[in-house]
Amino acid sequence: MTHKSMRKVMAAILSAAMLFQMGTAPATQAAVKVKLAKKSIVLTEKKSKTVKVTGVKKAKIKKVKWSTSRKKIATVKAKGKTAVKVTAKKAGNAKVTGKFTLKGVKKVQKVTLKVRVKKASKANNATKTPGMPSRQPAATAAVSPSALPATTTPSTNPATTTPTKNPDGFEPVLFKNATFENGTDDFVSRGSSKVSQADNGYEGKCLYVSGRTDTWNGAAIDVTSTIVPGAKYHVTAYMKQMSGAAAEIKCSAQTGSDYPAIATVTDAPSGEWVKLEGEIEVASSFSDYLIYFEIPGSAKADFYLDSVVITQVSKGKDVVDPNTLASIKDTYKNIFQYMGTCANYYGYGAKKDQLRKDDTINFIKKQFNSITLENEMKPDTVLGGSYNKKLISVDEARKLGYSIPDNYKEDKVPQLDLGAVDATLEFCAENNVKMRAHTLMWHQQTPSWFFTEDYNGKNVATTEVMDARLEFFVRTMLNHVMDKEKELTGKEGSLVYAWDVTNEYVHRTNEPTSPSWMDVYGDMDLEPVYVKKAFTFAYEELENRGLQDQVTLFYNDYDEYNCADKIVELVNYINSDKKVCGGIGMQSHLTGPENPTIDLYAETLDKFLATGLEVQVTELDAEVESNDLEDQAAYMKSIMETIVTKQLNRDKTVNPKGITGVTIWGLYDTCSWRKNIPLLFASGINDPKPSFYAFLEAAKAK
């Protein structure tokens, strides 16, 4: 916070305190803050909810206007001046905005409400009926029989719903009919549970799920290789939970880190067969897809599952062959040296094995000439995180090639996990792709034990001890990578062209691990000695190999358009004795159209280019407030046109290299760390969005 901002805050606090003491004084504009009783709501299709306005009296409101970002998802209706009614239309996400004009207040106040609409599911208690689908025995896993209690059935018989022909003429296709007559029908345990065949099913035999230790434990079937991308499926099943009381039961899908619900019964009675029924639309691309059953209402209860029928009720989504798409790197080859993406070698969920699967490997080779590991090169991963710490003797470390400085006085050192780093370097060598190394120093993702005496997680280490640890870590990382490059290609510096030495120091107080760098060194404002040392250690290793003019060391940060002056001041301090920091990384996690505006982003580029240092856009993604695909495309295009224009029209006498690279932070939306359509592809590499084509079009800017 600047001194000017601090003065404003203190003045506001003093004013508020005086008003409180006076009691009878009229309220100022700052004293009235319109709020909503809720920040977000979840609705089921066709349901409504009224959210109240708080923080302001009705008599104070002169005018209010409500709007929704996606009318097809949710509609809004004012309920007087102090409430809004939100009605869910179809599954999806929307944002409701209320604009308030208050009496005696010039500035319009705005409130927002996040709305998530989920599909309606049909679920009923049911008994055996003559209309059950016919049995289709299949070869299954080994059977584990058990003696089970007798079945209790309800006294009513609801009608059975059968999927009918869709308006588009698609005839429903039976996808799976799990009867469990001959085994477990491809169902496996999820979590600590065990699955086995049992008697006394809803009809004949059934699946018995036991040994649960958490609510998400249950039974699952992997349909990754057989389910049709983009298609809609109708699911029915019968469950009997044995918790001894009414409990919620549920059927869901798991794809990557998403868990969309298919059907839920909130109060399923214990010991009775209950019908689950619902539909789900499959993403057009995914790395894994499970359908599973669980008891969210009980962590330990056993349950039985029977008559699982999954029917495809719509055709799959039309997808694009990624091999036919224009190439990002080729489109921009005469403007930027590097066009990259972030990826994961191992990863998880939708991010799993991105650098090990042929489809994503070929996609990356075609579209990009640079990659950044999303997480696998961060200190937290390399050092083993909070739970996988391994210490080795200094002698053993030296045998492994670690760089142990003379001032390192401890007898042990952390063993570094560089398996994913080595494998990624091999990927780069094999596929003619370069790499940004991210990152050596970051307060948010370095295990707290690294900053304590004897690495024991207790008392904070001294500055002398941390100086030695910092030097060990930085020098070892650079030397390991350069040695690996020489092993793979015969030449050091052949694969990694940039290092993010320090990440987000300007935001050092934002959720650091505890303890972290500041606990050791204190807050050194914009003259952090230890950050300068990190750059110096890294630069010296490049000098030792003659690579100081070939590999660039970067300072990397987010929200850079709101702290550009601080970043420039920090980098100037780092380079005050010698130019060891050669570049500024603009993460560019954007939310259009206001954060930032195009003008503010352009102004930030100007400030960084004026330093004469290389500039790279290192983690680009762009959400928009409307969550609309066309709006996102327009904003992304404007941002890229700004970057292109600044690069082409820069003063080359001030900044010879200018903007040397742009990295998009993820392959597609469903593997992004952000939730609202931030990238160029939607659910997979075969699902380009309008923003992809807008991104390419922006290369025509002058």
- What are the DSSP E strand ranges found in 453-551? 496-503
**φ/ψ (deg, to 5) at 331:** -65, -35
- CA dist 130 and 318 (Å) reads 38
Within 8 A by CB and 6+ apart from 126, the residues are 154, 157, 158, 238, 273, 274, 275
Pairing of strands 109-118, 40-44: parallel
Tokens of 402: 């670690």
Closest CA to 370 of 497, 503, 479, 493: 497
Tokens of 672: 């992004």
596: preceding bond cis by omega (within 30 degrees): yes
- CA 519 vs CA 450, 462, 466, 513: distances in Å: 12, 10, 11, 10
- CA dist 394 and 412 (Å) reads 5
- CA dist 273 and 243 (Å) reads 13
DSSP 317: P
Do the Cβ atoms of 182 and 137 come closer than 8 Å?
A: yes
Sign of CA dihedral 333, 335, 337, 341: negative
Do the Cβ atoms of 692 and 699 come closer than 8 Å?
A: no
Closest CA to 453 of 404, 409, 509, 511: 409
- CA dist 243 and 560 (Å) reads 53
- CA dist 681 and 688 (Å) reads 4
- CA dist 691 and 701 (Å) reads 16
- CA dist 524 and 530 (Å) reads 9
Residue type, 103: K
- In a 10 Å sphere around its CB, with 0-12 CB exposed, 13-18 middle and 19+ buried, how is residue 345 labelled? buried
- CA 317 vs CA 92, 284, 286, 295, 304: distances in Å: 17, 6, 13, 32, 34
Q: Name the residues annotated as catalytic.
A: 504, 619
DSSP 449: G
- CA 140 vs CA 183, 236, 237, 628: distances in Å: 5, 20, 19, 46
- CA dist 478 and 481 (Å) reads 5
Neighbours of 609 (CB within 10 A): 21
